[in-house]
Structure 1
Amino acid sequence: MRARHQQSTLKRLSLDILSERKWVLIATVLTCVQVGLTVYLPVLIGQAVDVVIRPNALRNILPILYRMAVVIGLNTIVQWLNPIIYNRLTYRYIASLRQRVMEKLDNLPLAYLDKKSVGDLVSRVTTDTEQLANGLLMVFNQFFIGVLTILVTIFSMADIDLLMLAMVLLLTPLSLFAARFIASRSYTLYQKQTQSRGQVTQYIEEMITQETLLQTYNAQDKSIETFSELNENYANYSKSAIFYSSTVNPTTRFINSLIYALLAGVGALRIMAGAFSVGQLTTFLNYVNQYTKPFNDISAVLSEMQSAIACAERLYLVLDEEENHLPVKRVLDSQTLYGQMSFEHVQFGYDKTKPLIKDVNLDIPAASKVAVVGPTGAGKSTLINLLMRFYEVDKGSIKLDGVSISDYDVEDLRSQIGMVLQETWLKTATIHDNIAYGKPNASRDEVIAAAKAANADFFIRQLPQGYDTYLADAGASLSQGQRQLLTIARIFIKLPKILILDEATSSIDTRTEALIQAAFEKLMQGRTSFIIAHRLSTIETADIILVMVDGDIVEYGNHQALMDKKGMYYSMQMAQAT
């Protein structure tokens, strides 16, 4: 099974590289020229040896030396060009592969991303692609040239002496068997090495990101202990893989040296028997060197390729993931969008055997302000995830203006939804670019107006370059509240038809929160809005309040109706009031 996977990955990798037809053709032609010149040189050396031992050596050897100088000069130029071509071909492919992987990750459902660690995915896009590039360069620089050299030297040796060629062909496979034996064991170790490297990368990313929390709870010792274990595992797998692969070259060199010594002895006997000249033996032994040397290079490449194929397999696994794009049946017209929402017998579970939302039925009029409350884990954020189509419902449907949202293109749907999360994210860019993230072509006046509406203009103008201040640390130098204000400003510049506010003011002080709430009230006029909030005082003016417990909507109504009912919502209000 493992061998089948390896062969499948290698075949796919080869087809991908062959798609760069122009550069593959140039590389092939130059490789053939390099091998031809390299194999022709021993012929000239043999001729020179035969001339030297004859009369008038100086006069006869000069034309041979001239041809040798030309061959060496041309070979030098070709050997200088070939690596340039190989590098261009390899890194064009690696850039394309990395681009495809990133595009794939951008289009994969969150269900896949939630199951993968960030560090592992980062390792695939960065370290694995680099490891694959190194392996491919070795293939071009050593493997292809080596294989072609072997084939050409076989024919050349056959032209000199068939008996000695037979000895070469019978003995040299010994080094191949040794290389294959070692390479088959190193592949498994390289697979474990790449997996372990992903775990180390993930842990480093997690610990550095949460360094403040780590020090707050004095968990440094435990963190160092866990990292030491992961690091030791990675080191052990790396040492084992490198040890196995490093034994290939010495082993094959030792076997080839024995073969060379044996052939030199037999060749001396053939000269004494008058079978061929000293120059022919010199040429033949040069061919034996040229023939056996690629086996050393190929064995090293085979070892390195085990790591490269393991990396390629991890990258192709990402590319092979299904995006689960449903066919687009309707075009979403933003001009005629009202925002009426309905949930009809919606069922969903992150684990299909354990449904979280069991049977939700809702009818939300257009331009309604809907608040979703409930204890942690009740399914509030899950409801929003389904609305945004981060996840697809298992059963039932969610409809927008009477049409299932699964019938619309995902991008069209999300373009009509503005979302502010509790967790803030800013990119490494200017303040202007961060606010205009959802509308890249926004003018400076639009950005300033959005910042003022979000009450962010006052602190932005206090920054060194105002709206042109570059956040090299992705906003880490700003306070949590300031970062939240910038993310809220993004919504004001986008002006979507549907709003989702998931604890959007949780990091804002009370005074600023009051201003933001007033701005939100203005923004929500005429728009369907969903608000997730733990501070119940912020959602008392909602048209509809949904109280969720364990994935079910247990109460439904406005603030006064739910307070009169004296159920779960009433209990939550009383608990916060005390």
Structure 2
Amino acid sequence: GILTPAKAISKASYRVKNGIAAADRVFEILHEKDSMEDIPNAKILDGFTNELSINNISFKYDNDLVLNDFSITVPKGKTVALVGQSGSGKSTIANLVTRFYDINEGSILIDGNDIKNVTKKSLRSLMGLVTQDSILFNDTIKNNILIGKPNATDDQIIDALKIANAWEFVKDLPQGMETNVGDAGNNFSGGQKQRISIARAVLKNPPIMILDEATSALDTESERLVQVALENMMKNRTSIVIAHRLSTIQSADQIIVMQKGRIVEQGTHVELINKDGMYKRLVEMQSFE
């Protein structure tokens, strides 16, 4: 049949058109002006000494209020966990603190400096972000980890891999950390990718850690390994954890329970269990997604 090749050709040309449209869109984004440019004379933050505070912020996404008059203070060295069901606004906070979006009202301060008045580069250099989707590039494990600290030594990389519980599988690879991760990390399992991106954050060693602690996509064994890696990383560090699982939350200094962009309860695990409110119900249902 001549029909099959003819169909294939028409499909291919359709794909090329699609590809061109996608490429146009990529170039459009690359050339787009940064809508949140640094202000003239923006301050350079050169460290973190005191606290990160979020003050009465509201944030709208397409006219829907995602956060409503929301405030928390994260003192240096403490771990604050945000919990709540899907749509409660907890993941938005990571994007606001790192200034990928700007708030509509209120302020976010680091040691008293409004993050709108500091350079985005210096702001983000203070922060390590581990998200649900470990973003890996088609390059070696080593180069993926070096993004956090380009001049690090191999020994420092290995230390970071150990803390991230990743050395145990990397050391057995024929090419070790020179192994290519493949396109989007496809050569590795979800748990392995997550641990490589935790190693990157560990090597960068930022004073503030923001974790979208998504272990939901992992099997039980790698979840346990990732969990331990996250706990290793959070020791003596200021952390905001967007928590999906109970294990991370129990040791947090402060747990913030969110619902529809507002705080409904806050306290330690024990305090909140004794309160017998929404947190206790979430714990019983094991549902922090």
TM-score scaled to structure 2, two decimals? 0.85
After superposition, what is the alpha-carbon deviation per residue over 1:390-409, rounded to whole angstroms, capped at 9, x for unaligned? 10111110111121111110
Corresponding position of 1:331: 44
CA distance in 2, matches of 1:546, 1:359: 14
For residues 318 and 441 of structure 1, the distance between their equivalents in structure 2, rounded to whole angstroms, comes to 27
Asked whether the equivalents of residues 166 and 199 of structure 2 are also in contact (C-alpha less than 8 Å), the reply is: yes
Matched, 1:466 2:179: no
Aligned to 1:446: 156
Is residue 191–residue 226 contact of structure 2 (8 Å, CA) maintained in 1? no
Please state how far the C-alpha of 1:198 moved relative to its aligned partner.
9.2
| 2:281 alignment counterpart | 571
Match of residue 547 from structure 1: 257
C-alpha distance 515-484 of structure 1, shift in aligned 2 (>3 A) = closer
**Secondary structure in 1 matching 2:183:** coil
Measure, in 2, the Cα distance between the counterparts of 1:522 and 1:457. Answer: 14
Identify the structure with bigger relative contact order (alpha carbons < 8 Å, sequence gap 6+). 2
Higher strand share: 2
Residue deviations 1:389-447, cap 9 Å, x none? 01011111011112111111001110110111111221111111112121122111111
Q: 1:472 to 1:409 in 2, by over 3 A?
A: same
Report the secondary structure of 1:398's partner residue: strand
Alignment map for 1:526-541 (pairs within 5 Å): 526-541=236-251
Q: Which residue does the alignment assign to 1:369?
A: 79
1:525 corresponds in structure 2 to 235
The answer to whether the 8 A contact 2:56-2:106 is kept is: yes
More helix by share: 1
- Closer/same/farther in 2, CA of residues 199 and 391 from structure 1, 3 Å limit: farther
* C-alpha displacement of 1:323: 2.5
Q: Which amino acid aligns with 2:95?
A: N
Q: CA deviation at 1:559?
A: 0.7
**Closer, same or farther in 2 for the Cα pair 1:525/1:532, shift >3 Å?**
same
2:207 to 492, 497, 501: 497
Structure 2 CA distance for partners of 1:503 and 1:521, relative to 1, 3 Å: closer
Which residue in 2 is equivalent to 1:98? none
The 1:570/1:471 distance shift into structure 2, 3 A limit, reads: closer
Q: Which amino acid aligns with 2:61?
A: Y
Please tell me whether the aligned partners of residues 164 and 232 of structure 2 are also in contact (alpha carbons under 8 angstroms).
Answer: no
Distance 1:198 1:347 in 2: 43
- Contact 2:191–2:223 (Cα < 8 Å) also in 1: no
1:432 & 1:492 partners in 2: Cα distance? 13
Q: Greater Rg, structure 1 or structure 2? A: 1
Matches within 5 A, 1:59-70: none
Q: How does 1:123-202 map to 2 (within 5 A)?
A: 200-201=18-19
Residue matched to 1:70 = none
Correspondence for 1:488 among 191, 198, 203:
198
Shift of 1:339: 4.8
For the structure 1 residues 498 and 339, does the alpha-carbon distance in structure 2 shift closer, same or farther, using more than 3 Å as the test?
A: farther
Aligned to 2:104: 394
Q: Does the Cα contact within 8 Å between 2:59 and 2:68 map onto a contact in 1?
A: yes
Query: Identity of aligned pairs, percent?
Result: 42
Change (3 A) 1:326 1:533: same
CA distance in 1, matches of 2:44, 2:139: 34
Q: Which residue of 1 aligns with 2:7?
A: none
**CA distance in 2 between partners of 1:401 and 1:319 (Å):** 34
For 2:32 and 2:74, how far apart are their aligned partners in 1? 39
State the 1:318 CA deviation.
Answer: 6.5
The count of corresponding residues between Structure 1 and Structure 2 is: 273
TM-score, normalised to structure 1, is: 0.44
User: How many angstroms apart in 1 are the aligned matches of 2:191 and 2:29?
Assistant: 40
Give the aligned residue type for 1:559: H
- 1:568 deviates by 0.8
CA distance in 1, matches of 2:42, 2:16: 40
